[in-house]
């Protein structure tokens, strides 16, 4: 198979991500919808750090984050 360097990096990253243990967090969106978000190990560690620093659960942190305005 002939892939460009960019395509090879993309494909390697997909495989690398698929081999990682995924972490699921249940939370309630601002409109009351139940959500389940899947994170990689790296994202989960960062989310845990933020949740610990703010003193709330991961689900609560995501609920609060849903209220952050999107930059235009």
Percentages of the chain per state (helix, strand, coil), in multiples of 5: 50, 15, 35
Give the pLDDT score at 42.
86
Q: What pLDDT, on the 0 to 100 scale, is given for residue 54?
A: 96
Q: Is 40:20 a contact under the CB 8 Å cutoff? A: yes
Region class of 68: left (phi > 0), else alpha (psi between -120 and 50), else beta: beta
pLDDT value for 71: 79
pLDDT for 19 equals 87
User: What is the distance between the alpha carbons of residues 62 and 27, in angstroms, rounded to a whole number?
Assistant: 7
User: How would you write the pLDDT of the chain (72 residues) with one tens digit per residue?
Assistant: 799 999 999 999 889 878 888 899 999 999 999 999 999 888 999 999 999 999 999 999 999 999 998 877
Domain extents for the chain? Answer: 22-72
């Amino acid at each position: 198979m002939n892939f460009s360097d960019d395509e090879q990096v993309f494909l390697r990253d997909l495989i690398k991500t698929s081999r990682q243990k995924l972490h699921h967090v249940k939370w309630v969106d601002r409109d009351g919808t139940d959500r389940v978000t899947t994170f990689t190990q790296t994202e989960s560690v960062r989310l845990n750090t933020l949740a610990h620093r703010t003193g709330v659960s991961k689900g609560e942190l995501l609920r609060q984050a849903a209220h952050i305005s999107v930059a235009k």
